[in-house]
A and B are shown apart, each in its own frame.
Chain A
Amino acid sequence: MRKGVFFGENDQMIQFKELFAGYRGEKLDALMGNQIINWGRSDGFNPTNNITPNDYFFLSSNPDDQKESNFMLRLKYRFIPAIELDLIAIPFYASSNYRYDLFEMGENVNFGAEIIPPKELNNSTLAARLNFEFPAAGWSVSYFNGFDPYHGFDVQSVDWTSGMPLLTNVSTPYRKTTLGADVAIPLGNWIFRAEAAYNTTKNPDSNMFIPLSDVGYVAAIETNIAGVTLIGQYIGKYTPDFFDLPLPVLSNPMDPMAQFQYANQMIDYENRLFNRKIFYQQEKTNHAVSLTLSKSFGYDAWNAELTNYYNFTSNEMILRPKLSWKITDALTSAIGVNYMQGDSKSLFGYSSKVMNGGFLELKVTF
């Protein structure tokens, strides 16, 4: 249950984080209802995890709280204890929540109600994962076909009645097919992880809200030095068919029709660029790194954590230090900072004005 003022608006809602029922056996699990799926062996950046949405604007000291469930049928079959097949069928689409309507994107940009695909069988999502977990290594291969919760934006309408264009953008889902794989290999005091996904999309109409086919990949190491857990990750994306968007040219500045055409082309150009930022397809290759340091002390009553992310391609960064203290077994407090930085028209540049700040959390567990 949530009640309070969120981003300047009174909000009150009751939400089931998860609600499902079914059968769990030694060989087979069959569960139906609202569930959260978290695939992938890397941390926080999982290109193979496309199934359930996130609320990126749910304010919590723990990013895992941003995970949201979706209604599904999930079957898990264990051939042997170390090999399991995970099958998921999702009849209805649920989108991730990112509140671009809160961003200062200009007075001529509005955001309309999101587009939800019709509830039809051919709009459902299917996913499968064959997971192997042996002492020497764990790995999986996965398949996804359906609507990606991490959606794009389309320009729904352009209103010229005032003489200036007034845009209405709407979140618009798209289908994709993903072939994924991940691996984790322990080696003494180190664990090496890797995860990759090949995403294919069909876009015969060249819609701006559909990304180009791409490959997302993460390579990571984890170790423990003097009681500090260190997780370092490289996060990359390769877009084989990437091309530079042609910048519109005003052919005849004196021709009103040419001006009108040019304005429409610029609207299209800017919004395509915006979608490319969402999909990390601003260049043919996108490079980013993340580093997380974590240490518990005082008999695990205290935990200090620092997470840093830097995207070399878009010059965006996040810095998130956090200190938590278990006051009692039932009461935990956390204090920290969320700091994002990016160029003026970057996603982090927009979101930093909304999301930057400190937080103080008191959490009661019962």
Chain B
Amino acid sequence: MKTKTFIAIFLSIISTGSFSQTAKEISKKSIDAIDVGNIEMISTINIRDAKGNKRVRQITTASKQFGGVTKMLIRFIAPADVKGTSILVYDYENESDNMWIYLPALRKVRRVVSSEKGKSFMGSEFTNADMSKPNTEDFDYNIIGTEMYEGKSCWKIETTSKTEAIANENGFKKRISYTDKSNYVSYKVEYYDAEGKLRRIQTLSNYKKQPNGKYFAYYMSMESVQSGRKSEMIIDKLQSGSQLPESAFAPTALEK
């Protein structure tokens, strides 16, 4: 009996791959495999409610790293009521982000509280947290198995918020990612609330390898399990390696 148990545990360790890599290492590689730190792109967000009604948003995004800080500039192109609105985020590894917003009606750049990472991004199923790199120190990681996903052998990685405050800030208590063993990109992420209920399912596809060797998903969808709403983000145009100078990522440049 003891021998059988030992073999079962041993096989489990082999199969999850944690023998060679920890879940945290895999997650870090998964984050690094995606090219989000230095890009310029135009994307369209389609938001469909449970009745099938559709709303469309279009944004431009530019991000670039300067001295360990990822600076992200989002400009709203459509619809007309938000056109001209710009958001600037300074995303730090281990401290609160800085965030500024320019609203055309207000005619000034305004610093805003950045703690609302779990809030809906532009009224979609995506959250602000989905738009930026997660802070790996905020979470515990576990490999909970392996599974074939659309023909790809994937790790199932469970990521759990270390504290309730982190869970509240990011809008989920736990998530399970299906991460490709060959290139570390994720195809599916399930988000769970504090009660352990599945709230949202994200799927990522149409990955394209960028000139710098990193990947980017040109199609992402997020489905709300409870409401039946679904949002898609389609990358219309992407340029790896932003050519913008640091001055373009300054709050004083937001109203241009």
Interface centre among B81, B105, B116, B119 (most CB of A within 10 A): B81
Q: Does B250 lie within 8 Å of A133, measured CB to CB?
A: yes
Alpha-carbon distance between A268 and B115 when the two chains are bound, in angstroms: 55
Q: Which residues of chain B are near A82, meaning CB under 8 Å?
A: 250-252
Q: Residue on B with the closest CB to A189?
A: B115
| A135: interface (CB < 8 Å) | yes
Instruction: Report how far A123 CA is from B92 CA in the complex, Å.
Output: 49
Q: A133 to chain B: closest CB distance in Å?
A: 4
A330's partner among B80, B112, B122, B250 (CB-CB below 8 A) is B80
Check B47 for interface membership: any CB of A closer than 8 A: yes
- Inter-subunit contact B122/A227 (CB<8 Å): no
Q: From known contacts A81-B252, A133-B252, infer whether A188 and B115 are also in contact, taking CB-CB under 8 Å.
A: yes
Near A by CB (< 8 A), chain B positions 78-136 give 78-81, 90, 96, 98, 100, 105-116, 119-120, 122-125
Q: What A residues does B114 contact at CB under 8 A?
A: 186
Once the chains are docked, how many angstroms separate the CA of A97 from the CA of B90? 40
Q: With A67-B107, A186-B98, A189-B115 in contact, do A329 and B55 touch (Cβ < 8 Å)?
A: yes
| A133→B101 CA distance, assembly (Å) | 13
A296-314, CB under 8 A of B: which get 1 and which 0?
Answer: 1001110000000000000
Q: Across the interface, do A78 and B252 meet the contact criterion of CB distance under 8 Å?
A: yes
Let me know if B253 is at the binding interface, CB within 8 A: yes
B4 within 8 A of A: no
- In Å, the complex CA distance between A189 and B97 comes to 10
Question: Which listed residue (A36, A78, A184, A188) contacts B107, Cβ 8 A?
Answer: A36
CB distance from A258 to the nearest CB of B (A): 55
Contacts of B251 in A (CB 8 A): 82, 133, 138
Contact flags A49-91 to B (C-beta < 8 A → 1, else 0): 0000000000000101101000000000010111110000000
Q: Check B124–A299 contact: CB distance below 8 A.
A: yes
Evaluate whether A299 and B47 lie within 8 angstroms (CB atoms) in the complex, with A64-B106, A78-B252, A227-B119 already known.
Answer: yes
Q: Whose C-beta in chain B lies nearest to the C-beta of A18?
A: B107
Interchain CA distance A83-B247 in the complex, whole Å = 11
Cα distance, A83 to B251, chains bound together (Å): 10
CB of A184 within 8 A of CB of B253, answer no
Chain B residues, Cβ within 8 Å of A81? 246-247, 249-250, 252-253
Q: Are A366 and B80 in contact (CB under 8 A)?
A: yes
Closest to A329 in B: B79
Q: What is the bound-complex CA distance between A326 and B69, given in angstroms?
A: 35
Chain B contact residues: helix, strand, loop or mixed = mixed
Determine whether the beta carbon of B120 is less than 8 Å from that of A300.
yes
A332 to B120 Cα, complex, angstroms: 19
A80 vs B247: C-alpha distance in the bound complex, in angstroms? 8
Q: Chain B 45-64 against A: per-residue CB contact (8 Å), 1 yes, 0 no?
A: 00100000001100000000
B105 touches A62 (CB 8 A): yes
* Residues 153 to 200 of chain A near chain B (Cβ within 8 Å): 184, 186, 188-191
Residues in A whose Cβ lies below 8 Å from that of B249 = 81
Which residues on B sit within 8 Å (CB–CB) of A188?
96, 115
Is A38 an interface residue when CB atoms closer than 8 A count as contact? yes
Cross-chain contact B113 with A84 (CB below 8 angstroms): no
Instruction: Say yes or no for A223: interface residue by CB 8 A criterion.
Output: yes
Q: Does A148 sit within 8 A of B, measured CB to CB?
A: no
Q: Which of A39, A84, A190 contacts B108 (CB 8 A)?
A: A39
Q: Which residues of B contact A332 (CB under 8 A)?
A: 81
What residues on A are CB-neighbors of B246 within 8 Å?
81
Give chain A residues whose Cβ lies under 8 Å from the Cβ of B2.
Answer: none
CB contact list, A282-327 vs B, under 8 A: 296, 299-301, 326
Q: What chain A residues lie within 8 Å of B55 (beta carbons)?
A: 328-329
Q: Which of A26, A224, A365 contacts B116 (CB 8 A)?
A: A224
A99 at the interface (CB under 8 A from B): no
Distance in Å: Cβ of B83 to nearest Cβ of chain A: 8
Residues of B within 8 A of A326 (CB): 81, 123
* Interface 0/1 of B22-48, CB less than 8 Å to A: 000000000000000000000000010
Known A-B contacts A36-B107, A365-B80; A300 and B123 likewise in contact (beta carbons under 8 Å)? yes
In-complex Cβ contact of B229 among A83, A299, A330 (8 A): A299
Binding site for A on B (CB under 8 A): 47, 55-56, 69, 78-81, 90, 96, 98, 100, 105-116, 119-120, 122-125, 229, 245-247, 249-253, 256
22 contacts between A and B (CB under 8 A): A24-B256, A26-B245, A38-B107, A39-B108, A65-B105, A78-B250, A82-B250, A82-B251, A133-B252, A135-B90, A135-B98, A186-B98, A188-B115, A189-B115, A190-B113, A191-B111, A222-B113, A223-B113, A299-B125, A326-B81, A328-B55, A365-B81
Spell out A's residues near B (CB within 8 Å).
24, 26, 29, 36-41, 62, 64-65, 67, 78, 80-84, 131, 133, 135, 138, 184, 186, 188-191, 222-224, 227, 229, 296, 299-301, 326, 328-330, 332, 363, 365-366
A81-B252, A299-B229 given; 4 more Cβ-contact pairs under 8 Å:
A37-B107, A138-B251, A186-B111, A189-B96
